[in-house]
Structure 1
Amino acid sequence: MSRRLKNAQLQTLTLDPESAIALHQQLFLALRQAILEGRLRPDTRLPSSRSLATDLNVSRNTVLSAYDQLMAEGYLISRVGAGSYVSDQLPDDLLQRKTEGHAPGVQAREIYLSKMAAAFMGKTRSSEKRGLPFSPGLPALETFPFEDWARLLSRHWRRPGREYLVDNPVGGAKILREALASYLGQTRAVRCHPDQVIILSGSQQAIHLVVRAFAEPGDAVWMEEPGYPGIRDSILSAGAVPISVPVDEEGFALARAREIAPAARLACISPSHQYPLGQTMSLARRLDLLKWAKEEGRFILEDDYDSEYRYAGRPLSSLQGLDDDNRVLYVGTMSKVMFSGLRVGYMVVPDDLVDIFLALRQNIDSHSPSVPEAALADFINEGYLAAHVRRTRLLYEARQKCLLSLLQEKLGDIIMVAPQGSGMHLVAYLPPGIKDKEVEREAAKAGMLVRALSGFYNLPTDQTGLILGFAGTPEQEMPHLVDRLTDIIRSKAP
């Protein structure tokens, strides 16, 4: 019978007493493989020989023998009084096996991928740098009332109700659905009852479900150009065809969309604050789009990602609130008003579609965590969310003014940038000759996360620019950050 290591970093290693290979040699080979594959990283402290021997139920001499061989070959180093550590002097070519996916000299295997999966080749993304200055959509995390949030969580964890411990409803905790229905009605003029609200693990999951519900493989789905890449990815993952519809100063243009793809099954739009350019869809166009959906029997996905942050007047009413034929599926998130690590998004669906969307959601992951949802309901019901939004709205308005002033002062002769009436980012347009993707790469090296505007276009474009988040970057840090960005942009100027 195999013996499995109990140490958390080494649980994948096994020893077989029945093998013809001696136990100390098995252990040596297993540890060496873990080091080469990167599961045991440089400077990782290994368990003491006594502890490891106990875990494996082998003699201590077996472990000492394996450690001695690893040290002799340079995989481990001994630090007096501190134990055995993975060497930090291993040659890079030894450690490339894991990152390359195959051993040196061995050809990469050919893998058949579905058309859907093949569309994502080379498109892996990482969120590891999302916390860097100028990250679009990053809120002011330092201002969040974590003490209040911790207290609300503790309230439910100390004596959790049975309903929070056994299979949360597929649509989310009832108390949160009720809280969101009330909140959205008051702040966004969304017309719904709690059963129409479905809690999800983020707005991206909602977008994915909506596209899956209405688009067959090969069907056309309208999206904005430029637009949110997550919508395009969801369309592709459903096997459907993303149809890019250029936006203008009034937002999404239905007439242009019907010229390009008159048989589209779904329209995916951000009417209150177009992403990333920032326009607000005019009332006339909203009404035209609702008329199209009603007459053609189609549906509209309304992505309302940061509508709370409007700096001139009250937030605009949602498109869903104007809909008299139940054609709009409203999608929102808590990532912008709270923090993305919470992983809470939601959608509001028409009454007659609730059951189908609950079934689609259950097919993915059954249900979401219940106790954080109960705490979030209290956070909303007891006024903490509204107070936090009021505070951050004033803060973000000041941060936008500060960033705008610095950009105009330092780069006014090169870029075009204007204030935004809402949202959490600015768009700085670059002149021809400066490649925004090069600026994006150089900014990342300098510790800033700015997004190249051209990367949000699906169709060929000469438009270049930078998307600069201001909400999560303190004003006192902005001067030296803009100085860094200025140096990068001017170095790229022809």
Structure 2
Amino acid sequence: MPNSCPPPNPHAATPIYRQVYLRFRHAISAGRLQPGERLPSVRALAAELNLARGTVEAAYQMLAGEGYVQTRGPAGTVVAPLLSPTPVDAGERRLDPPQTFPKPAALAPMPLQMGLPALDAFPRKLWTRLLGRTLRQSGLDGLVYPDPQGDLALRRALASYLGVSRGISCTAEQIFICAGYRACLDLICRSLLHDGDRCWFEDPGYFQARRFLEQARAQLVSIPVDADGLVVEAGMVLAPDARFALVTPHHQSPLGVTLTLPRRQRLLEWASSQGSWVIEDDYDSEYRYRGRPVPALKSLDTQGRVLYCATFSKVLAPGMRLAYLVVPQAQVARFATVAGDMQNHCPQLLQATVSAFIEAGHFARHLRRMRGLYADRRRYLVDALQAEVGEHLQLDDRAGGMHLVAHLAGGLDDCTIARRAHHLGLAIEPLSSWYRGHGQRHGLLIGFTNVSSREQAAELARRLRLAMDL
């Protein structure tokens, strides 16, 4: 611990783990601890201060979560190498972080973050080999202006994959490669949306899509979600003339329920009769841990009303910024014109490498491996949470997905818990913040894909218990 800082005061109102955290943070911000300098080991500092190891670990995790330090395994914990000193108020004692925090040296994900695949399981060696081979074999086609719809080989590979895995009959001509899911929404809005068009939006629903559509000047109509998915009849009452409906039918975001077949049929009937469009966000359909996979809504679309969106962010890596959109045949020309105007291109080398990854069978093998891995990691976290805080959480037992939904008992506030968890280095999200209208439910959204062991799961569950102030 920095020599110039007083030792923790067991009689102070501030918890001891937070006192330790603040001492180091002040020393780093003031420049007394330099970038790259090694911190004492958890065991050594706990022995020196006569504290429990868990107390010191909690302080170090807070520092790591905010980017002040980096853990380097056997090499210990060091001050983030690229961090610049930024003075802070020595009297600061608030729970909420001040707005003058120095920017973290790296955007490393926090534990339990939603929406991230298992970063430690990405096939780096194979990917590097394919990337190099693709680069060596590329010719003049890689140097000219790319096709605004995306690499043809990748679109053909995707058409074949979707036909087998999602029951979608489409051609490469109907597929558009986009720089992420929001780029898919952007292409849809530029092609079909008019200012003020009404759009059914699941409540609760994916907040990033909600923000984008609001910025695109769509008029969102919140439609409730129950155990059978989007309540289609409610949409037909609230906004029967809506021009769009954005849905996550396979694994509703964030509740995880599946849109039942009768409701899927009713939704398509409504879209056909109104001449409306259904945007299907099929964001993590690859991950189902029991039962048979549910076909895509697009596979039932006989009238050409569904715009199908999917992404490689959940199955490979979000840093690729690679997604794709399948449009009805009758709309291909319109979308192609808009895509040409947008110049929404993804790197040609990246697209060609993904194409090779799929065509060689690596993609299917990778998905099989990840399903097994995620089933194990999900079980690690469920067991740890039930053992540590099971009496205060009700975990939804869903068949798939990449996160857990934990409903809170006893009137606990999810926003307060999520804020405290963030200070303890946990990227848990409050369920209530995903609601747009009334009827909010309090709960926690907890990613499990990067929980690599039972021991790590147990440690994270203990930290969550601290955040819940139990």
| Structure 1 match to 2:465 | 486
Letter in 1 for 2:421: A
How many Å apart are 1:398 and its aligned residue?
Answer: 1.1
Alignment of 1:115-264 (within 5 A): 131-264=109-242
Q: Find the structure with the greater CA-based Rg.
A: 1
Q: Could you say if the C-alpha distance between residues 405 and 173 of structure 1 is closer, same or farther in structure 2, counting changes exceeding 3 Å? A: same
| Structure 1 match to 2:42 | none
How many Å apart are 1:130 and its aligned residue?
Answer: 6.7
How many Å apart are 1:91 and its aligned residue?
Answer: 6.3
Measured in 2, the distance between the counterparts of 1:89 and 1:337 equals 38
Alignment of 1:328-477 (within 5 A): 328-431=306-409, 433-475=411-453, 476-477=455-456
Q: What's the C-alpha RMSD, in Å, of the aligned pairs?
A: 2.4
Letter in 1 for 2:366: H
Structure 2 counterpart SS, 1:186: helix
Structure 2 counterpart SS, 1:154: helix
Structure 1 counterpart SS, 2:226: coil
How many Å apart are 1:431 and its aligned residue?
Answer: 2.7
Which moved further from structure 2: 413-422 or 261-270? 413-422
Q: Verify the 8 A CA contact 1:400 1:419 in the aligned structure 2.
A: no
Measured in 1, the distance between the counterparts of 2:364 and 2:464 equals 35
How many Å apart are 1:166 and its aligned residue?
Answer: 1.0
| Structure 1 match to 2:45 | none
Q: Could you say if the C-alpha distance between residues 270 and 87 of structure 1 is closer, same or farther in structure 2, counting changes exceeding 3 Å? A: closer
Structure 2 counterpart SS, 1:468: strand
Which moved further from structure 2: 331-340 or 149-158? 149-158
Q: Verify the 8 A CA contact 1:129 1:449 in the aligned structure 2.
A: no
Measured in 1, the distance between the counterparts of 2:155 and 2:83 equals 53
Q: Verify the 8 A CA contact 1:425 1:471 in the aligned structure 2.
A: yes
* Structure-2-length-normalised TM-score: 0.76
- Measured against aligned partners, the alpha-carbon deviations of 1:59-106 in whole angstroms (never above 9, x if no partner) come to xxxxxxxxxxxxxxxxxxxxxxxxxxx99778679xxxxx999xxxxx
| Structure 2 match to 1:52 | none
Q: Could you say if the C-alpha distance between residues 462 and 456 of structure 1 is closer, same or farther in structure 2, counting changes exceeding 3 Å? A: closer
Structure 2 counterpart SS, 1:210: helix
Structure 2 counterpart SS, 1:412: helix
Q: Could you say if the C-alpha distance between residues 88 and 188 of structure 1 is closer, same or farther in structure 2, counting changes exceeding 3 Å? A: closer
Residue 310 (structure 1) aligned to one of 249, 265, 288:
288
| Structure 1 match to 2:19 | none
RCO greater where, 1 or 2, for CA within 8 Å and sep 6 or more? Answer: 2
Measured in 2, the distance between the counterparts of 1:89 and 1:488 equals 28
Letter in 2 for 1:131: P
How many Å apart are 1:200 and its aligned residue?
Answer: 0.5
Measured in 1, the distance between the counterparts of 2:331 and 2:409 equals 47
Structure 1 counterpart SS, 2:324: strand
Measured in 1, the distance between the counterparts of 2:85 and 2:296 equals 58
Q: Could you say if the C-alpha distance between residues 479 and 90 of structure 1 is closer, same or farther in structure 2, counting changes exceeding 3 Å? A: closer
Measured in 2, the distance between the counterparts of 1:89 and 1:205 equals 37
* Structure-1-length-normalised TM-score: 0.73
Letter in 2 for 1:391: R
How many Å apart are 1:286 and its aligned residue?
Answer: 0.4
Letter in 1 for 2:462: D
Measured in 1, the distance between the counterparts of 2:192 and 2:222 equals 18
How many Å apart are 1:158 and its aligned residue?
Answer: 2.0
Structure 1 counterpart SS, 2:469: helix
How many Å apart are 1:339 and its aligned residue?
Answer: 0.5
Structure 1 counterpart SS, 2:314: coil
Q: Verify the 8 A CA contact 2:381 2:451 in the aligned structure 1.
A: no
Measured in 1, the distance between the counterparts of 2:336 and 2:111 equals 38
How many Å apart are 1:441 and its aligned residue?
Answer: 1.5
Measured in 1, the distance between the counterparts of 2:83 and 2:394 equals 51
Q: Verify the 8 A CA contact 2:308 2:325 in the aligned structure 1.
A: yes
Q: Verify the 8 A CA contact 2:284 2:401 in the aligned structure 1.
A: yes
| Structure 1 match to 2:243 | 265
- Measured against aligned partners, the alpha-carbon deviations of 1:287-318 in whole angstroms (never above 9, x if no partner) come to 11111111111110000000000111332110
Measured in 1, the distance between the counterparts of 2:112 and 2:398 equals 15
How many Å apart are 1:448 and its aligned residue?
Answer: 1.2
- Which consecutive residues of structure 1, in runs of 5 or more, have no partner in the other structure? 1-41, 45-85, 94-98, 102-125
Kindly indicate whether residue 296 of structure 2 is the aligned counterpart of residue 323 of structure 1: no
Structure 2 counterpart SS, 1:311: coil
Q: Could you say if the C-alpha distance between residues 339 and 214 of structure 1 is closer, same or farther in structure 2, counting changes exceeding 3 Å? A: same
How many Å apart are 1:432 and its aligned residue?
Answer: 5.1
Letter in 1 for 2:428: V
Q: Verify the 8 A CA contact 1:211 1:234 in the aligned structure 2.
A: no
How many Å apart are 1:213 and its aligned residue?
Answer: 3.1
Letter in 1 for 2:460: L
Measured in 2, the distance between the counterparts of 1:208 and 1:230 equals 13
Percent of aligned pairs with the same amino acid: 38
- Measured against aligned partners, the alpha-carbon deviations of 1:377-418 in whole angstroms (never above 9, x if no partner) come to 010010111111101101111111121111112112111113
Q: Could you say if the C-alpha distance between residues 129 and 227 of structure 1 is closer, same or farther in structure 2, counting changes exceeding 3 Å? A: farther
Measured in 1, the distance between the counterparts of 2:276 and 2:292 equals 30
How many Å apart are 1:460 and its aligned residue?
Answer: 3.3
Measured in 2, the distance between the counterparts of 1:88 and 1:415 equals 40
How many matched pairs?
379
- Measured against aligned partners, the alpha-carbon deviations of 1:344-393 in whole angstroms (never above 9, x if no partner) come to 00010011111222232333334221111111001001011111110110
Q: Could you say if the C-alpha distance between residues 137 and 130 of structure 1 is closer, same or farther in structure 2, counting changes exceeding 3 Å? A: farther
Measured in 2, the distance between the counterparts of 1:247 and 1:276 equals 10
| Structure 2 match to 1:39 | none
Q: Could you say if the C-alpha distance between residues 415 and 173 of structure 1 is closer, same or farther in structure 2, counting changes exceeding 3 Å? A: same
| Structure 2 match to 1:32 | none
- Measured against aligned partners, the alpha-carbon deviations of 1:440-481 in whole angstroms (never above 9, x if no partner) come to 121111111111101100013441111001112212311101
Letter in 2 for 1:477: Q
